[in-house]
Every structure is written in structure tokens, then in C-alpha cells.
Amino acid sequence: MMQSAIAGLVIAVNLALAGGAVASEAAPAATAPPAAAAAAAPAAAPAPAPFYVPDAVIKQAISDVLHAEAAPVSAFKSGPEIYSGDPTSARMTAAFNQARVPDCLHDNALKHQPAHIGPIGVVGPLSLPWVISAVLRGKCSLP
């Protein structure tokens, strides 16, 4: 928003300078006769007028830019969408749930320490040694 306000100010300054340049070029030609203007031109060039942009032009340019743009969007959330969460919080919640130490008495007790003998998976009561090992290593928790 600030960039477009600055752009509007630059446009206003350029228009003011262009208008001043046209007026300063037209003024010597109207006051001096053509022969005198030709003789005076090589001798001394007129000094450029000091840079001046009226306050009204600046205010008008800024108000035009502000009215042309939409209202700024607030960076802060408000209302019920604050508590609904966003994709980042949903992803973080899923990661925390997955990393949580499982309960040893449920079916996911060996989630962090799977029971395998080589490529063969061990299930049922035969996996009891792995459950005991998971308790001792802290890979699952007892209630």
C-alpha cells in the first residue's frame, strides 16, 4: 500500500514538473522579441526554477491512490476461526500424536519397537518378550 502511495506521489511530482517546464519555456518567448531571444539564448541560459509541488497536489495524489486501493487486510485473525486451526497446527497435532509414547497394554504397544525375527513379523502372545523389552527401554508406557 505504501508503494502505491509513493508511486502516486511520484506521478504528481512528474506532472507538476512537466507543467512548470512548459510554463517556463513559454514565458521567455512571450516577453522577448524573436530576434532578442535568439541573441540572448547562447549567452546565458535561464536558471531552473526551484522545485516546488503544492500541498494540494500531494494531498490529491495520496487520496486518489488510497481510494483506488482496497482496504488493507488485517494480519491478525479475529473471531471463531482463531480456534479452528490452520493446516500447520493440524500437521503439528498429527506429528505430536504420532510421536507420543504408546500404552503397553494396547495394540500399538510395539509401534516404536516392532517385533521381528529377520523378515518375519512376530504377533500375538509370541511378541510378549518384545513388549517386556519395550517397557524396559521406555518405548511404551504402563498406565
User: How many CB atoms within 10 Å of residue 60?
Assistant: 13
Quote the domain boundaries for residue 8.
2-68
Helical spans, DSSP H, in 32-78: 34-43, 55-68
Residue-level pLDDT at 20: 52
Residue-level pLDDT at 44: 57
Tally the domains of the chain.
2
Q: What is the block-wise mean pLDDT of the chain (143 residues), using blocks of 10 residues?
A: 63 66 47 50 60 86 80 60 68 86 85 87 89 89 81
Residue 27 near residue 48 (C-beta atoms within 8 A): no
In a domain, 80, yes or no: no
How far is residue 8's CA from residue 13's CA, in Å, rounded to a whole number?
9
Residue-level pLDDT at 24: 47
Grid cell in block for residue 16: 507538476
Residue-level pLDDT at 98: 84
Residue 110 neighbours by CB under 8 Å, 6+ apart: 127, 130, 131, 134, 139, 140
In a domain, 89, yes or no: no
Q: Which of 68, 91, 111 is the last residue of a domain?
A: 68
Q: Do residues 8 and 61 both lie within one domain?
A: yes
Residue-level pLDDT at 97: 85
Residue-level pLDDT at 143: 74
In a domain, 96, yes or no: no
In a domain, 135, yes or no: yes
How far is residue 8's CA from residue 74's CA, in Å, rounded to a whole number?
23
In a domain, 38, yes or no: yes
Q: Do residues 6 and 64 both lie within one domain?
A: yes
How far is residue 65's CA from residue 61's CA, in Å, rounded to a whole number?
6
Check: pTM over 0.75? Answer yes or no: no
In a domain, 50, yes or no: yes
Q: Do residues 63 and 116 both lie within one domain?
A: no
In a domain, 35, yes or no: yes
